[in-house]
A and B are shown apart, each in its own frame.
Chain A
Amino acid sequence: MSFPWAQHYKPSHPLMVYLDEKLPLPRFVYNAVGAGYPVPRNLNYAWNFGVLAGFCLLIQIVTGIVLAMHYASNAGIAFDSTEHIMRDVNYGWLLRYAHANGASAFFAVVYIHIFRGFFYGSYKPPREMIWLLGVVIFLLMMATAFMGYVLPWGQMSYWGAQVITGLFSAIPLIGGALHTWLLGGFAPGDAALNRFFSLHFLLPFVILGVVILHIWSLHIPGSSNPTGVEVKTESDTVPFHPYYTAKDGFGLGVFLILYCAVVFFAPNQFGHPDNYIPANPMQTPAHIVPEWYFWPFYAILRAFTQDFFIIPAKLMGVLAMFSAILVWFFLPWLDRSPVRSGHYRPLHRKFFWVLVIDVLALGYCGGAPAREPYVMISQVLAIYYFLHFLVILPIVSSLEKPEPLPFSITEAVLGKDDHAVLTA
């Protein structure tokens, strides 16, 4: 989409004029992330994380493709081929650490991107399709990350594969057969490892496709902004390039500093020591946990310890864990407040921060051993999680009295007095 005042692409060089006639790719880029895309002028740093997430996907695809040139997806030698990468392949250690920590970075960035959406109501119409596609991307990321973690075929890889595919065995009637089908055997082995490798290679490109849809659907209403007030006039916007390319360039630099500090100086910080032990189907690690980015959901899974009427605890846990993400799909219709941004919603804002603390605490409990008091704490935290989205949000959005909104983005930025001057 474009606002009427968007700048138009005018190629001057004869080659670019020719290209514009035959294959208007530069025009496409110009209108998508160039000067042809007017963006609200008041975006804060929380809006950097979309571009950063895209960059993380790029890191993962590039490092992943080169790692696949050396990795062997055979249960007998997968572990050794990973060590071969770490020891003998030129810069193999760098590529593998960049990829393993790239997954962590990707999730960290995407979580901030998602919580930005929660606070500023980015999921609200007219942007609900962007939100739905975003949740699809997140689900695909989780599947990709899980299968990638299986590939080194260490102890955590093996038992992660065993436990996560075991979730599907909770499904009544078909569960057992489904579990066997997913693994291509009765326990993780060559068949499972090969299919996980194949899908782990495929899914990032599926993610890339959905990311393109995500950005496409963003360009129809245009970017949201911290006030939540829609763009009204030209003075509300600036062209994406150079304003946000410059800002995103700086954000990217800060991100890379943090990311590289981890890759080069603490590359195993986010991993688990047990994954440096080759897979052993005869012995489960004492304390089995997924990667940190799954911890909040893992805590919810483990919070269901009792059968609930006719529903077994295992099925309840699996249902709740998937529901915890699926509920995000319904967010645009659960939050009925006419006001978008948390800046002008006093109650929503408070509950948002409670949710942030709740999810962080759930994450902590999910990473802790499965014993008391962590289980009881995560039960309380999980209750809040579900109440927040399914009960509090719908009720609060109908009850709360929003604070007065600015008339326009320009007014929010410059104050009322300057308004007349600027639109003149």
Chain B
Amino acid sequence: MIRIFSILVGLFFSAALLFSFGKGAYSYISEPPAATAVNVYHKEPKELALASDGPLGKFDMQQVQRGFQVYTEVCSNCHMLHQVAFRDLKAIGYNDDEVKAIAAKHKIPHYDPKTGEVKNDNGMPTDHFPPVVYGGQGTPPDLSLIAKAREGGPAYIYSVLTGYQDQPADLLAKFPDSKTPDGLHYNPYFANLNIAMPPPLTSDGQVSYKDGTKPTVDQMAQDVAAFLVWTAEPKLENRHQAGWAVLIFLIFATGLAYMAYQNVWAGKKH
């Protein structure tokens, strides 16, 4: 009885699915989905190799500091770094006084517990990077976690920063409706090809590095990507170090467990 019922239920679901499949297949064949500019011209991120990659990765602090400089001088005009506190910068090699000086450059509202007033005064190392007021259209995303919040991570950041170009002529020929709207910028690494952010890194030497590295656009983009990997995952080095200790211990312990297992079962067929 239950089997007759189950066969009926099974046929019911199958019939409904077959019906959906038939209609879907029919429209797929009669009007095959047209190619769009996005699925023809969108590109996967370029290769980017950073010191923090892989299970042995450690940050290249020189590069992270250069990236922080690029962030400060370029990105921070529009983008926040809400999750990061000034004190965190000690981890990328700044000392207490430098951290204090960096913090003091920002005006941050502080609540005075005695008077109940909120006053804008100099940032302190314990403060987080303050909100950035952006006057233009749209909302520039917070960058603290951007390296984890985008498919491709740092490679994506690097590719978008260096990927601005004129819209290819054949794109316009094939998809005349897909002309980049005014105020947007063509970038094949961006999800819908048209990004609101104007090219931030426009010329070599836009920042001047203290460590003598040549500030090409490509270099600056790589450096800021490295910095944003750090802001997104400041504990990366601790994680890698702890990971090796744990794995080596586990492999050793599992080896012992295997020997004990063989030992217990010795002579017992199973």
B251 and A257 contacting across the interface, CB-CB below 8 Å:
yes
Instruction: Report how far A265 CA is from B24 CA in the complex, Å.
Output: 42
Interface residues of A in 320-346 (CB under 8 A from B): 320, 323, 327, 330, 333-334, 336
Which residues on the B side are within 8 Å of A71 (C-beta)? none
B257 and A376 contacting across the interface, CB-CB below 8 Å:
no
Closest A residue to B144 by beta carbon equals A83
| Shortest CB distance A177–B (Å) | 26
Beyond A276-B149, A330-B6, A383-B14, whether A264 also contacts B19 by CB under 8 A is: no
Instruction: Report how far A253 CA is from B142 CA in the complex, Å.
Output: 41
Beyond A247-B265, A391-B7, whether A93 also contacts B2 by CB under 8 A is: no
A265 and B251 contacting across the interface, CB-CB below 8 Å:
no
Instruction: Report how far A327 CA is from B12 CA in the complex, Å.
Output: 14
Q: Which of B11, B17, B21, B144 has most A Cβ within 10 Å?
A: B17
Instruction: Report how far A236 CA is from B55 CA in the complex, Å.
Output: 46
B270 and A42 contacting across the interface, CB-CB below 8 Å:
yes
Closest B residue to A282 by beta carbon equals B139
Q: Range of interface residues on chain B?
A: 35 or more
B10 and A413 contacting across the interface, CB-CB below 8 Å:
no
B254 and A254 contacting across the interface, CB-CB below 8 Å:
yes
B247 and A260 contacting across the interface, CB-CB below 8 Å:
yes
Interface residues of A in 193-240 (CB under 8 A from B): 238
> CB-CB contacts of B1-36 with A at 8 A, as 1s and 0s?
011001101110111111111011100100001000
B151 and A273 contacting across the interface, CB-CB below 8 Å:
yes
Known: A97-B239, A243-B265, A257-B247. 13 other contacts (CB 8 A): A41-B270, A83-B145, A249-B261, A253-B250, A253-B254, A264-B246, A304-B17, A308-B19, A320-B17, A379-B21, A379-B24, A390-B13, A394-B7
Can you spell out 28 A-B residue pairs with CB atoms less than 8 angstroms apart? A93-B238, A238-B268, A243-B264, A243-B268, A246-B261, A246-B264, A249-B261, A253-B257, A260-B247, A261-B247, A265-B239, A273-B150, A303-B17, A303-B20, A304-B16, A304-B20, A308-B15, A311-B16, A320-B17, A333-B3, A376-B25, A379-B17, A379-B20, A383-B13, A386-B13, A389-B6, A391-B14, A394-B6
Leading 4 A-B pairs by shortest Cβ distance? A264-B243, A390-B10, A253-B254, A276-B149
